[in-house]
Structure formats: structure tokens, C-alpha cells
């Protein structure tokens, strides 16, 4: 009786296939969204991939796979990215969500193409990573937000970042999901199979074993590797670092209309920390980190701004990494982090290399201004160059400014250049009281594990944080409250396997996807050729 009921339920979707698949596509997208911060429900991601795989996999038309994948993508990205439209209206938010959903649609198409190959959970999981790679690269330099890895900072898969970076974490989540889908399909097949001979021919034991391995191997590997992560307190030597969160007068796109007030806030909070140090209430830092846009008044051109920063650095007795907007001779600007060392003034600097389209600059400006009155509020920033490392009192610090941390390549040059400590200075005031800051914090936690380095997040309005090399958040500030986080952090020179191999894992997954698609294409061509030959033979046998 139970078997009959379960079998009847399994047959339900065949009665209204489009409706059932549409509903399950939306459910899959919502599950993926639910796995992202500030919610700690990381385990929803593999479940979402399982539901999505069951939805798009099949023998029907490829465009149906794309359509269901696109629908899942909308259900994922629309609730994930509303912060992109807080101050500019819903059009940019919905347009960006739709563009991102196209890549989930492509995943659905490829899944329908390769989903019948032997070992299909592996090929489908690699297809997910390939879709993430394409989305992180094209157009306009890509948009990596919403990669599966960035929802796993609290999960079992985190330690895998030290082996293969964010791509391996995404692959692990996807493979767990496709493995779960394979198990469910085998269960359904067993329930629906009436003939014992058919069950024997299907060899269910082998199928279940293969699916179970795909389901369990990555979570087990992640848990096993967790104990191998570096001790967050161990390093070549230890320094004291302070992160200053000065906060802003008001949120929104025009927060920098009070640029002097923002600079004053960060100077004031640094001087307050200096007084606490003099009173013996805090430890004197070896280096102080201010956030992105802490000085939107160019201190290389404005003597008042330079004097204020010099005063703060001299009083705290340490160099300050100042997030500043610098005006170039051609009136373009750079988003820079400058090492400012007391009376000695400015030293080395990092000019942001991966700048944000539609924010820091506007591609195809004359075209996009037709769609939004906010288009001309985009900046005229230009990308910088260099290896991403600044030196402050002999400390090599790798810098990824705000948006850069979403990209795998942001810290790669810095690590090759010998970064001993990582920092993400960021300004989240332009995104209001949204989930954006928590999503970005999770990315920083992934990067800390990926490269085996302590990492400091300094934000204008929050959340600022001190992150250990094992991804744990050791200190965290509230939003919209001036704060100074002070911590002893280890410096390291040894590198993780992920740092050594760089982008190689992602390239392997892309190559796997391309190879699987090529095999399917060759098979289809061979099948068509065989059918054509059969027809010719049959026609030749008919008497003339």
C-alpha cells in the first residue's frame, strides 16, 4: 500500500509537467537564496541544487531546460540583490537579476544536454561551476555575486577553500546536490519498477552506491579537512592591527556630499583609540586600517585633509591605510588605499584594479543614460595596476577594495607578491541597511581560508570585522556605530594549496563541462548517421 501511494505521488508531476516544473524551479531558487547570509542556513544550497537538477534534467527540448533554469535564477537573484536598487529604483536591480538568471538558464540547458551521460552528477556539478565562471567574467568584467561558495562560510564545505578556492567549494555544494538528486531518482525508479527482472537489469545496487558517493564525498571531505586548517593564532610573528569604523553622517548615494564629515569621523575615532592607548585601556596598534572612501577629499591635493590624516597617524603612533579618492591629471579618479605614516606622509598605495561597472564607471554611457536618470551619477574611475600589496612598517598587506573581494583574482597577485596579512576596506553606506554587507563579509571569510591569512574588514558604516585564517569572525562591529576593533594577528609566509594552484581547479571544471558536451554532440551525430544509414539500407531492400 505504501509503495503504491509513493508511486502515485511520483507520477503526479507527469499530469501537469509545466506547472510542477515551474513551481519546483521557483522553489530551487528560493532555497539557494535562503542559504546566503545573514541567514546561517548554508545547508539549503545543496538542497536547492538537487531540486533544480530534478527540474531541468530530462530528455525534452533544450530550451525547456533553459527556461526552467532562468525561472530558478529569477527566484534566486531577485531577493538576493535588492540592495543594488535601494537608491536608484527597481529597474537596475531587476535588470541585473534577469541577466544573472540567464546564466542559471544556461546551466539548465547544459544539464539537459549532459544529464544522460554515465556519471552525470559529476558533469552537472562541473556545469554549475562553469556557469559561475562565465558569469564572473562576462559582460563588463563579470558579476560573481551569488556564487554558491559565498553562502558556505558557516558550513561543512568551508575548509575545501584551502584546497581549491571558491570554485572547489561551489563544486562541492553542487556535487552534493546532484548526488542527492541521483539518489532520489533511483528511489523513484525502484518504486515504479514492477518487474524484478527489470530491477536486476538496472543493477540498482551499483547505481545507489555511485549516487551515495556523489552525495556524501564532499561533505565528508570538508569536515575532515576542517581540522587541518591553520591555527588562527599561529604565524611567523604577531602584530597588533586596528580597524576603524568612523560611520557616516547619512546613508545613500549622496553620503559623500559630506566628505569632510566622513573624514572627521575617522580621524576622531582614531584619536579616541590613541587616548585609550595612552590610558592603558587598549594596546597600541602596529598598523591602522581605515575603510574605502574614508577620505573622499584627495589628501594628495588638499592640505587640510593631509594635515588631519597626519595628525591621526602621529597621535596613534602607527601608519594608517587610508581609503581615498584621488583625482588624476585628466580628471578621472582612482579608488586608492594609501599608507600614511605620520609626518612622513603618504607612502605606497593600491589603486583598485577591479572597478564596479554602473557605479564607479558607466560602460556605454550614452546608451544606458537613456534608461535611467541615475546613469550620469556613475563615476569616472579608472582601474589601477600593481600587485595589490602595500608595505607598512615592514608588513606586507594584501588589499582587495570592496567589490574586488568577490573576484578570485583579486588576491592572487598579492599572494604571489608575499602578502602576510589581508584586508578588505569597504564602503557599504551606499547600500543602506541591507544584506549586502553580510554577503560581502562571508566572501572575506572564504578568502581568509582560501589563502590561510588573517583578514581585516574595515567598513565606513559596518560591518567591520577581524577574521582568522580558519574563517572564524573573531570580532565584529555593529552597523552605523563608530567603532575601533583591535586584535593581535599572526603574519604568515606559508601558502595554502589553493594559493599555489590559483585558477587551475576552475579551469579543470570548465574543461570537464566542455568535454562532456563534446561527447554528447559526437554521440548525437553518430546516432543520426546510424539512423540515416539504416534508412538507406531499408530503402535499398524494397523491390524497385
One digit per residue, the tens of pLDDT, for the chain of length 544 reads 445 544 443 444 667 788 999 999 999 999 999 999 999 999 999 999 999 999 999 878 899 999 999 999 999 999 999 999 887 788 889 999 999 999 999 999 999 999 999 999 999 999 999 999 999 999 999 999 999 999 999 999 999 999 999 999 999 999 999 999 999 998 887 777 654 544 444 455 656 777 888 888 999 999 999 888 888 889 999 999 999 999 887 655 554 557 888 999 999 999 999 999 999 999 999 999 999 999 999 999 999 999 999 999 999 999 999 999 999 988 899 999 999 999 999 999 999 999 998 888 888 666 766 666 666 667 789 999 889 999 999 999 999 999 999 999 999 999 999 999 999 999 988 787 889 999 999 999 999 999 999 999 999 998 999 999 999 999 999 999 999 999 999 999 999 999 999 999 999 999 999 999 999 999 888 777 777 776 766 666 655 5
DSSP codes joined into one string, 137-164: TTTTT---TT-GGGG-TTSTTGGGHHHH
- At 468 the pLDDT is 97
- At 374 the pLDDT is 61
- At 199 the pLDDT is 47
Angle between helices 120-135 and 90-114 (to 10 degrees): 150
Is the CB of residue 418 less than 8 Å from the CB of residue 395?
A: no
Is the CB of residue 45 less than 8 Å from the CB of residue 53?
A: no
Q: Please report, to the nearest 10 degrees, the dihedral formed by the alpha carbons of residues 405, 410, 412, 416 taken in order.
A: -110
**Closest to 36 in 3D by CA, of 79, 72, 74, 84:** 79
The structure's pTM equals: 0.91
**What is the CB neighbour count within 10 angstroms for residue 239?**
21
Q: What are the residues whose beta carbons fall under 8 Å from the beta carbon of 485, sequence distance 6 or more?
A: 242, 243, 245, 456, 464, 465, 466, 475, 476, 477
What region does 225 belong to: left with phi over 0, alpha with psi -120 to 50, or beta? alpha
**What is the CB neighbour count within 10 angstroms for residue 106?**
20
**Reduced to 3 states, what is the DSSP secondary structure of residue 89?**
coil
**Reduced to 3 states, what is the DSSP secondary structure of residue 475?**
strand
Is the CB of residue 290 less than 8 Å from the CB of residue 425?
A: yes
Active site residues: 292, 352, 402
- At 257 the pLDDT is 54
Residue with cell 594549496: 497
Is the CB of residue 423 less than 8 Å from the CB of residue 455?
A: yes
Burial 39-59 (b: 16+ CB within 10 A, else e): eebbbbbbbbbbbbbbbbbbe
**Closest to 189 in 3D by CA, of 174, 176, 203:** 203
- All 3 cell numbers of residue 502? 590559483
Kindly list the distances between the CA atom of residue 217 and the CA atoms of 122, 148, 158, 224, 362, in Å, as whole numbers in the listed order.
12, 17, 14, 11, 44
- At 10 the pLDDT is 43
**Closest to 384 in 3D by CA, of 429, 345, 348, 417:** 348
**Distance of alpha carbon 191 from alpha carbon 183, whole angstroms:** 12
Amino acid at each position: 500500500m505504501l509503495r503504491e501511494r509513493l508511486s502515485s505521488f511520483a507520477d503526479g508531476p507527469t499530469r501537469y509537467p509545466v506547472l510542477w516544473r515551474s513551481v519546483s524551479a521557483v522553489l530551487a531558487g528560493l532555497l539557494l537564496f535562503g542559504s546566503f547570509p545573514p541567514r546561517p542556513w548554508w545547508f539549503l544550497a545543496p538542497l536547492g541544487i538537487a531540486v533544480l537538477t530534478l527540474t531541468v534534467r530530462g530528455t525534452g527540448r533544450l530550451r525547456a531546460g533553459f527556461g526552467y533554469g532562468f525561472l530558478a535564477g529569477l527566484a534566486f537573484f531577485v531577493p538576493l540583490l535588492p540592495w543594488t536598487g535601494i537608491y536608484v529604483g527597481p529597474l537596475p536591480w531587476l535588470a541585473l537579476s534577469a541577466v544573472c538568471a540567464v546564466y542559471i538558464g544556461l546551466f539548465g540547458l547544459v544539464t539537459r544536454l549532459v544529464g544522460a551521460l554515465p556519471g552525470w552528477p559529476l558533469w552537472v556539478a562541473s556545469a554549475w561551476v562553469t556557469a559561475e565562471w562565465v558569469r564572473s567574467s562576462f559582460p563588463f568584467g563579470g558579476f560573481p555575486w551569488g556564487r554558491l561558495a559565498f553562502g558556505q562560510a558557516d558550513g561543512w564545505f568551508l575548509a575545501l577553500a584551502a584546497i581549491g578556492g571558491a570554485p572547489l567549494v561551489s563544486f562541492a555544494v553542487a556535487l552534493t546536490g546532484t548526488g542527492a538528486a541521483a539518489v532520489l531518482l533511483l528511489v523513484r525508479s525502484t518504486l515504479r519498477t514492477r518487474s524484478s527482472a527489470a530491477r536486476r537489469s538496472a543493477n540498482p545496487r551499483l547505481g545507489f552506491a555511485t549516487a551515495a558517493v556523489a552525495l556524501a564525498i564532499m561533505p565528508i571531505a570538508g569536515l575532515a579537512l576542517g581540522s587541518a586548517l591553520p591555527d588562527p593564532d599561529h604565524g611567523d610573528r604577531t602584530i597588533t592591527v586596528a580597524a576603524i569604523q568612523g560611520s557616516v553622517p547619512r546613508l545613500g548615494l549622496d553620503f559623500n556630499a559630506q566628505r569632510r564629515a566622513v573624514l572627521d569621523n575617522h580621524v576622531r575615532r582614531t584619536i579616541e583609540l590613541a587616548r585609550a592607548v595612552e590610558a592603558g585601556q587598549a594596546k597600541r596598534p602596529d598598523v591602522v586600517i581605515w575603510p574605502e572612501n574614508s577620505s573622499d577629499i584627495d589628501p594628495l591635493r588638499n592640505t587640510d585633509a593631509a594635515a588631519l590624516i597626519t595628525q591621526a597617524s602621529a597621535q596613534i603612533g602607527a601608519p594608517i591605510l587610508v581609503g581615498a579618492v584621488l583625482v588624476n591629471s585628466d580628471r578621472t579618479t582612482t579608488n586608492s588605499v594609501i599608507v600614511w605614516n605620520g609626518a612622513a606622509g603618504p607612502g605606497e598605495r593600491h589603486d583598485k584594479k577591479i572597478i564596479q561597472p554602473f557605479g564607479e564607471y558607466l560602460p556605454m554611457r550614452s546608451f544606458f543614460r537613456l534608461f535611467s536618470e541615475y546613469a550620469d551619477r556613475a563615476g569616472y574611475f579608472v582601474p589601477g595596476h600593481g600587485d595589490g600589496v602595500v608595505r607598512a612598517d615592514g608588513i606586507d598587506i594584501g588589499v582587495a577594495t570592496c567589490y574586488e573581494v568577490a573576484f578570485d583574482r583579486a588576491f592572487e597577485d598579492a599572494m604571489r607578491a608575499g602578502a602576510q596579512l589581508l584586508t578588505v576596506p569597504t564602503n557599504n553606506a551606499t547600500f543602506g541597511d541591507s544584506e549586502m554587507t553580510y554577503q560581502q563579509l562571508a566572501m572575506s571569510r572564504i578568502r581568509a581560508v582560501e589563502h590561510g591569512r588573517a583578514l581585516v574588514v574595515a567598513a565606513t558604516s559596518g560591518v567591520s570585522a577581524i577574521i582568522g585564517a580558519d574563517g572564524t569572525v573573531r570580532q565584529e562591529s555593529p552597523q552605523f556605530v563608530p567603532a575601533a576593533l583591535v586584535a593581535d594577528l599572526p603574519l604568515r609566509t606559508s601558502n595554502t594549496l589553493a594559493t599555489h594552484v590559483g585558477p587551475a581547479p576552475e579551469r579543470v571544471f570548465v574543461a570537464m563541462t566542455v568535454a562532456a558536451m563534446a561527447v554528447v554532440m559526437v554521440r548525437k551525430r553518430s546516432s543520426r548517421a546510424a539512423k540515416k544509414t539504416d534508412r538507406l539500407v531499408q530503402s535499398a531492400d524494397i523491390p524497385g
